[in-house]
Structure 1
């Protein structure tokens, strides 16, 4: 097994290098920058660096992000390229996930990772991914709404941190630090496209052309203040990897679309501070406006020949507006207490619509474009953080404490009347006035954290946090972490914590109707019901409780010499009352029950949210870094590997209300939802990155192994087709040259060997129309080539 081999190599390297540790001292500033970075995530203690952190933290620089060649400046893709523990699959034919993609950390749900901007909580999307596989039923943070050019570095804490940062931090924390250079600027532009041989249709194609332009600049304010800001413009053309339609009357007909949709983005940001009185006033903000398209399922000519004689392919549309801003003041009280007071407001609004479709209830007078509803999340947060150094038993410690108030509001607005009249718009039934939501809540929290060196070798950090949700109750969480220096080169670290995640307001209030595969693999309209909806309550839905977790980690770090460092960590995450979107629930008896009791006709299939599963995730993570002078430049080699396995420990039984309507066992967490929780994401990923640079050249090569994934469908009557897709290798490379100290040019490619995931079987590929599954992180777009030019001033 690859995982055992890598672990064996790591242990052998530690033993060999530790015994030989001595006087190597030829490291360079470039080689040690990340190791010496003072972390601001994961501990309140001062001056903790990468290897002496008590929990695993990854540090990614702006140069790291830029060298990924991320398509259209997508931050999510850049993170997935660099971090094996971060999964960001490309969705298609997946409802809202075609517009807002979800990311995973450590194989957990996308809403179980907390995202911070400059240490302040970032809001999530207002849109629930109700038809995707990865991230199904979650309202994730939209990573691609964060401008990649605004970032100075990113710190990724791979450990539960609820006691330090509050709800959502079950899998970890991603803290995005904005660019704070007080002067100078940069203009960057890139262009790229996919050029690939599509085996499914036997043709070589070029598509997915995208252009990216970013500019930023800064200036000083006073003696030590600054303001910096910038903007990005992104244009991404669609791709299509659909196969020939085996259901069509004419052979060689291509009716479906499978791939990336069209995307147009405008991003803007700023970051700054200025001396004011005895302290500093600071502020930062982000803005994103995105227009996207998504693919739906093709309708054949015999369905509505009077309007679409050649059939039709509905298309979903999204207008996404995302903004956040923070204003704060920090300083020193009585030369003792550092304080930081801030207010943050964030908002996401998603306006959904569909076109190239119809409403059969309106006959030949039907519109072909419909506004299907709007979704909005508003979040306001006020923080007060205090910290001071103190002496305990003659040793320096850091005491930190603070409080937080958060207000959240979730609002949904009905679509136009034609979108929900009668049977509604085909493919994307509009939100009805009766399904609108306007719910809010207040959250209060307070924490205390004490950290310091108990001995010259032993560092400890203890934290506790209490939070009260006026709609979900109160929770007390705690964390104890530590690091022990075993030898001058080896250290042992570990942590134990309790964490929780309150149900998002979107999971409480979201409702929609979408089309997906139903019995026998046919298209079926499925209505997502809020747990507050009277129909859902009559079917056994209950008020959602917070998820709770217990996290344990144990790791080894080694600074074997000035050139080689290593970290290896194992972890376990037990989650109780995990919130999931139930599988498709339906029967003729249930449809009649809803019509008889609520006067709503045609509701044969529904979903609603539940606390129906308890899960356990076990995993291991390995990172090795090596640097040395080589051929007049600097050579760097980084190896990273992650393994995680989730199993379902228990599930709740089918509610009696559903059993009375002929719904069988495992109605809440059936085979499809178990697959989503356990095997749909890769269990392991391996990344080997090699760089070489001198004053003019920068060369990069990256080899990635994307682990195997498994897809399971439930097509009714016990028919559960399943396929496991094997691991896939991916090769990326980039060459950059500095013509002057200010101007550089780079060319590169991702997936240069033009690899694809394994083809789906005839049971799953829907007549050959969908030849590839969306599960593999390598995606199904093939090889991508790009060029990038940068000018700094």
Structure 2
């Protein structure tokens, strides 16, 4: 383990043993107490366990937590980042697909190395690959924002490798989203907010980013034996923000030609959750549907480039139409009074239609349109599960045996854009997908698992699991996990786990192709084409078939509950990943462009990238959580503190393929300085969240202080490598709620109330002052946000 992590563990163990014992009178209704008593459904299929007696760290987030934390955007991903120090959800800008589908990290790992479940069933990923973002570059992540916050009862976040229990992708952990299952009553809520900030880059106070969210849900009982149906809808409307600086390249001083910030976004969500007794069993079904229209900004072009179309210059804009559907149906009950069973079928799909406007195709001259459909992407996933469990006895002790199987079918498709988008050299900044570049990939996945858990002694709980999965395109993998919890005293316990995990390459990583614009040599805007690894051009340049990533995970933790008011946990971890799948750096030269034109008849391709297994990484970290609550002034007061630290280093990289070396491409072509920066220093190494809340019959008060850790940005401009480290920033959030009646309440609050920004970017990085801030810091670049929320429950 990392020395810093071990030192922290030793220090906290010492602190636990010296802490005074408080009076043991409980504080009913305290939020932290409710979370501790929640029976977990994530992390073990055995005997019901709670947060502190789980053998691995699990966070529980309530619906009330999520509602206040997501107030400034209505985004589930943003709410999770606010509440969980180990969760990172950067607000990308000028980042291609990442402007439309935001990627998230857990424990500093890649966004596609966390498995997302809804009611315990695997969630499908997005169809679009984030090829121009910093965090999450090269991943097709789960779109957290396609799940409405109002649909959620609670979320369980398992911070540990769990591939042996749940399968591929669970290298960093598992996020299980539990949908609202209240059998009666309903709620209507509406929120309105706005950014009001002082942007020092232009010396002005700005009001923008106005957003509104309205949700409604209702439930009713079905029959007399516990059946129910819960349905809801949600609408979100967000105006864009702009934090660009004055254009230092413009002929006229004081011009803002770029756009930097959130784009416009409009979401419609519908969802349901239901259960119906059928004889001695229960039929259940649930689903979500999201339709979203979003905009993003490209980089500004000067007027002299194409004055016949845009005499005053132009700013291309990307458009995304995102449709996301997930449906599950199943039965659960008892077989022969011995086995519990759960059989289900889940279908999920995501369709992303990409377009661009405010640009044109120079090859078409005056006949060029200014808006293009640049290509469409779709991912479909159908999963069938059968899970069985029963109690077994060994040596006069009771254990739970769980076995099961899974079949999954995945299909990835891409569709060409408008002919005008790819004619000649293609649309400026958004070369469309050609019919010859369309793909239709599919695969079958078979998996089976077994898990045995129980108390070996009165003090020792053990859980052992193994899983075998076979991909018909990526081979087979056997994984295993051993976890346990040892009760040292009535107040203290040790827990730990060791496991191996894997992640098969996504079909999107195998088949995705796109062209975007970014800064190339000498900081000049350059079109970059992402090539599928199985394309003839990529293979000729040295691309190889992608292998699954594999990992070895180790964790050790200490939990303490000294009385009914105070609890704490500390966990340290190590994750070593081999054959990590990354998108190569921008690879380009005049010789490469000539080679592609001569051998494949495709002109104008100067820069390319493709996916590789070119890096091995090692991540060490520690996570500390403290909770305290007590009665105060006819209410309950609670304090929570959480800290996370993780450090990733690249332990090995693959060399430049000989095919590229023959074209004059130098060393580190696959994993150069930019990609190393993405893997190691672009995300914060540490974060602190300190929150306090007090509530009684009428009032609720909350404040949250967050320290967003430092980040580092590195660019590769060919002959230079501009680098800047952005310092840590403190953020203050607060909310006050008043209940007029038990059914009706109003809340007012704000996020980033002290109006903090990341450090200003230096002159090598800010592109003439146009991009004064970097998007890496979790505090974002929008400034202070203020909101009010009305809720009526019935």
TM-score by length of 2: 0.98
Q: Contact (CA 8 Å) 2:22, 2:565: kept in 1 or not?
A: no
For the residue of structure 2 that corresponds to 1:562, the secondary structure is coil
Q: How does 1:765-776 map to 2 (within 5 A)?
A: 765-776=766-777
> CA 1:64 to 1:6, structure 2 compared with 1: closer, same or farther past 3 Å?
farther
Q: Using a 3 Å threshold, how does the CA distance of structure 1 residues 758 and 344 change in structure 2: closer, same or farther?
A: same
Match of 2:670 in 1: 668
Q: 1:82 is matched with which residue?
A: 83
Aligned mate of 1:578, from 580, 583, 587:
580
Q: Secondary structure at the match of 1:307?
A: coil
Higher alpha-carbon deviation: 437-446 or 594-603: 594-603
1-structure distance, mates of 2:393, 2:516: 60
Q: Pick the aligned partner of 1:247 from 230, 245, 249.
A: 249
**Which whole-Å CA distance do the structure 2 matches of 1:590 and 1:623 have between them?**
52
Question: C-alpha separation between the residues in 2 aligned to 1:74 and 1:5?
Answer: 37
Aligned partners of 1:4 and 1:191: how far apart in 2?
45
2:221 counterpart residue number: 220
2:403 is matched with 401
Q: Identify the residue that residue 730 of structure 1 maps to in structure 2.
A: 731
- Could you say what secondary structure the match of 2:65 adopts? helix
Q: Is the 8 A contact 1:69 1:750 kept in 2?
A: no
CA RMSD of aligned residues (A): 1.2
Aligned partners of 2:706, 2:160: CA distance in 1, in Å? 24
Q: Which residue of 1 aligns with 2:468?
A: 466
- 1:69 shift after superposition: 4.2
Matched, 1:438 2:435: no
Matching of residue 167 in structure 1 with residue 168 in structure 2: yes
C-alpha distance in structure 2 between counterparts of 1:687 and 1:145, whole Å: 26
The residue that corresponds to 1:384 in the other structure is 386
Deviations 1:288-337 (A, max 9, x none): 00000001000100000011100100000000000000000011001000
Instruction: Determine the C-alpha separation between the residues in 2 that align with 1:259 and 1:340.
Output: 45
Structure 2 CA distance for aligned equivalents of residues 7 and 394 of structure 1: 36
Deviation track 1:242-287 (CA, whole Å, cap 9, x = no partner) reads: 0000001000011000000000000000000001122000000000
Counterparts of 1:723 and 1:532 in 2: how far apart (Å)? 36
**Residue of structure 1 equivalent to 2:699:** 697
**In structure 1, C-alpha distance between the alignment counterparts of 2:313 and 2:260, rounded to whole Å:** 17
CA distance in 2, matches of 1:317, 1:390: 56
Tell me the secondary structure at the aligned position of residue 595 of structure 1.
helix
In the alignment of these two chains, the number of paired residues is: 790
Q: Does the CA contact (< 8 Å) of 1:69 and 1:748 recur in 2?
A: no
1:488 to 2:490 alignment: yes
Flag structure 1 segments of 5+ consecutive residues without an equivalent. Answer: none
User: What per-residue deviation string (whole Å, max 9, x for no partner) do you get for residues 134-178 of structure 1?
Assistant: 000000000000011000000000000000000000000000000
Matched, 1:370 2:375: no
Q: Is the Cα–Cα contact under 8 Å of residues 557 and 568 in structure 1 kept in the other structure? A: yes
Matches of 1:622 and 1:279 in 2, distance apart?
42
Say whether the 8 Å CA contact 2:70–2:78 is kept in structure 1.
no
Deviation at 1:495, TM superposition (A): 0.1
CA contact (8 A) 1:516 1:525 kept: yes
2:43 maps to 1:39:
no
Whether the 8 Å contact between 1:72 and 1:235 is mirrored in structure 2 is: no
Q: Secondary structure at the match of 1:53?
A: coil
Distance 1:714 1:48 in 2: 49
Q: CA deviation at 1:670?
A: 0.1
- The equivalent of 1:24 in structure 2 is 24
Aligned equivalents of 1:392, 1:541: Cα separation in 2: 53
Query: Separation in 2 of the partners of 1:631 and 1:217?
Result: 34
Hey, what does 1:325 align to over in structure 2? 327
Q: Distance in 2 between matches of 1:253 and 1:99?
A: 27
Are the aligned partners of 2:29 and 2:636 in contact in 1 as well (CA < 8 Å)? no
CA distances 1:487-521 after superposition (whole Å, capped 9, x unpaired): 11000000000000000000000000110000000
Distance 2:8 2:251 in 1: 52
The aligned counterpart of 2:609 is 607
Q: Tell me what 2:529 maps to.
A: 527
For residues 10 and 664 of structure 1, the distance between their equivalents in structure 2, rounded to whole angstroms, comes to 48
Matches within 5 A, 1:624-663: 624-663=626-665
Asked whether the equivalents of residues 37 and 50 of structure 2 are also in contact (C-alpha less than 8 Å), the reply is yes
On the 8 A contact 1:679/1:711 being kept in 2, the answer is yes
Query: Which residue does the alignment assign to 2:314?
Result: 312
Aligned to 2:154: 153
Say which SS state the counterpart of residue 303 (structure 2) adopts: coil
Counterpart Cα distance in 2 of 1:25 and 1:204: 50
Q: Name the SS of the counterpart of 1:537 in structure 2.
A: helix
Matches of 1:197 and 1:781, distance apart in 2 = 10
SS in 1 for 2:73: helix
Per-residue CA deviations over 1:629-667 (Å, capped at 9, x if unaligned) read 112211100000000000000000000000000000000
C-alpha separation between the residues in 2 aligned to 1:652 and 1:41? 37
Q: Contact between 1:163 and 1:479, CA under 8 Å: does it hold in 2? A: yes
List alignment gaps of at least 5 residues for structure 2. none
> In 2, are the aligned partners of 1:69 and 1:786 still within 8 Å (CA)?
no
CA distance in 1, matches of 2:642, 2:739: 29
- Whether the aligned pair in 2 keeps the contact of 1:259 and 1:781 (CA below 8 Å) is yes
Using the alignment, how far apart are the partners of 1:511 and 1:69 within structure 2?
33
Alignment partner of 1:274: what SS?
strand
What is the CA-CA distance between 1:71 and the residue it aligns to? 2.5
8 Å contact kept, 1:357–1:425 = yes
